[in-house]
Amino acid sequence: MSEKVSVEKKVLSENDRIAAQIREKLGAKRIVALNLVSSPGSGKTSLLERTLDALNGDIKMALVAGDVQTENDAKRLIRAGGMLVRPIVTGGACHLDASMVSNALNQLDLTDVDVLFIENVGNLVCPSSYDLGEDMKVVVISTTEGDDKPLKYPSMFRRSSAMVINKVDLLGLSDFDVSKVKDNALGINGGLRIFEVSCRTGAGLNDWYTWLRELIIRKKRNET
């Protein structure tokens, strides 16, 4: 058991070293970096598609799309108008690590980029432990999941700065309780910024867009 713990600490230590390099690189360029995390099917890619459609002419976005076996999400983002998109296929790994992200960023021209979105692998466990050099994690959940998700995966919600509740257009078709999921999440992390959206209808997305613009302004002023 002690050997396993030692190896894990070594892996995370090396990951943190590379993540610090990424953070320094992005910070020097005043790029906001957001690590989007969720369970499969919550709507990370849909959220990014909507964001590209709404803001592509306003802010310059770079996107790294992680997946276990395919480049399907990256292709969707390109079709949605993404000009700077790099896929990462983990080949079975349940999370992205800083080395993967660093390699992807080396293949992107980050000149004048305002925001980097890192779409992590669909998983609420492993990604919580891996720093990718981001400014903050954004956890995406949906109303087709359980409202006890924050209680089941507290580490992810504790380490996130914002929570997007997607598919609010489907409220009432299940027992999902928005008030309950908010209480559960805020009980773990009282500082969470919460957005209620529907990537299908567009409801609530303007608040998300406004928040992104505010983050970019603060980063340009070196306030984050």
Chain segment 166-198, per-residue pLDDT in tens: 999 999 999 999 999 999 999 999 999 999 999
Q: What are phi and psi of 30, to 5 degrees?
A: 55, 45
Q: Look at the chain and report how many structural domains it folds into.
A: 1
Q: What are phi and psi of 51, to 5 degrees?
A: -65, -40
Quote the domain boundaries for residue 63: 2-220
Q: What are phi and psi of 94, to 5 degrees?
A: -90, 15
Q: Which candidate, 115, 60, 121, 49, places its Cα nearest to that of 87? A: 121
CA distance 41 to 43: 5
CA distance 45 to 57: 19
Q: What is the pLDDT of residues 75-108, one digit of tens each?
A: 999 999 999 999 999 998 999 999 999 999 999 9
Q: pLDDT class for 163, splitting at 50, 70, 90?
A: very high
pLDDT computed for residue 11 by the predictor: 77
Q: Which candidate, 183, 132, 178, 135, places its Cα nearest to that of 157? A: 183
CA distance 25 to 4: 32
CA distance 52 to 62: 10
Q: For residue 70, what is the domain's CATH number?
A: 3.40.50.300
